[in-house]
Amino acid sequence: MLNFKNFIKESVINREKDQNIFNYNGLLSHAWNSLVHEAQDFFKIHFDLENNESENEKKTIYIKRNLRKDQPIKYEFNCELFEAGGDWEMPVQYFRVEFTYSIPGTPHWDNPEYIFDLKRDLTKDKYLSDMNHKYVFIPGIEDGNFLIKTDKGYRAYTDEDLVKDGLKWKDVRPDHKKGWKWIENLLEEIVEKRHEMLD
C-alpha cells in the first residue's frame, strides 16, 4: 500500500527565492501581440501571428552622446528578432525593442514620426499600459522582409503568391542581416534626431 504522507513529502521541492515558478507565457504573448498589432498599423505591414517565435538573436545596442562637452549620456536599447506568419504565409521578421535607459526626446503625438510617438489608447487594450518603453519595429521590403504591396500597405507572401510568382520558400525568407542593420541604423537615427532637442 502506498504511504501518501511519504509520497507528498518527497514530491515537494523548495525553490530559490529569486526563481520564478509561475508561467507568464500567455500574458507575455498577449502583451507583445498588442504591440505587434500597433506596429502593423503604424508600418502598414500585416501578417498573421499564428507562428510567432523568437529567432534567438538578441542584442543590447548602446548609442553614446554628450549632453554637454563634459556630460556623457548613453541610450540603451534591448532588441530581439522575431518571425511571425500564418501556416499559409511566409514569415515576416520584426523586432521587439525596449528603451531601457534614456528615452530620446519627447513624443510627437500630433504628427508621429516613429512608433513611440503614438499616443496609446489604454481604453482599447489593457496590456498596453504595462508595456511602457517597449515597441515593435517591422522592417520593410528594402530592409530584409519580402512582402506583397496592397492598397493599404504590405502583407506577407502566401503559398498562393509563391506559386503565382514562380518562387520557392527560400526565395522569400527574411534577411536577418539586413534587418539587424536596419534596426541599428534606425535607432542611431532616432537618437541623432531626438537628442538634438536636448541640446
Q: What is the pLDDT of residues 112-158, one digit of tens each?
A: 888 888 877 766 776 666 778 899 999 999 999 999 999 999 999 99
Does the pLDDT of residue 99 top 70, yes or no?
A: yes
Q: What contacts 20, CB < 8 A, 6 or more positions away? A: none
Strands 45-46 and 153-156, by their bridges, are parallel
Domain boundaries, the chain: 24-198
Assign 92 a pLDDT band (cuts: 50, 70, 90).
Answer: very high
Does the pLDDT of residue 67 top 90, yes or no?
A: no
| Pairwise CA distance, residues 122 & 70, whole Å | 40
Does the pLDDT of residue 2 top 70, yes or no?
A: no
Span of 31-40, 128-137, 185-194 with lowest mean pLDDT: 128-137
| Pairwise CA distance, residues 51 & 91, whole Å | 8
What mean pLDDT is predicted for residues 42-58?
96
Q: Does an H or E element contain 150, and which?
A: strand 147-150
| Pairwise CA distance, residues 19 & 88, whole Å | 39
Does the pLDDT of residue 108 top 70, yes or no?
A: no
- The Cα-based distances of 107 to 75, 111, 121, 190, 199 in angstroms read 16, 9, 14, 12, 17
Q: Which residues is 62 bridged to in the sheet?
A: 76
CA triple 117-121-123, angle to 5 deg: 165
What mean pLDDT is predicted for residues 166-170?
90
Does the pLDDT of residue 197 top 70, yes or no?
A: no
By percentage, how much of the chain surpasses pLDDT 90? 53
Nearest of 122, 50, 38 to residue 92 by alpha carbon: 50
Q: 139-169: b or e for each residue (b if 16 or more CB lie within 10 Å)?
A: beeebbbbbbeeeeebbbbbeebeeeeeeee
3-state secondary structure (DSSP) of residue 13: coil
Report the chain's mean pLDDT, rounded to a whole number: 86
CA triple 28-152-170, angle to 5 deg: 65
Does the pLDDT of residue 72 top 60, yes or no?
A: yes
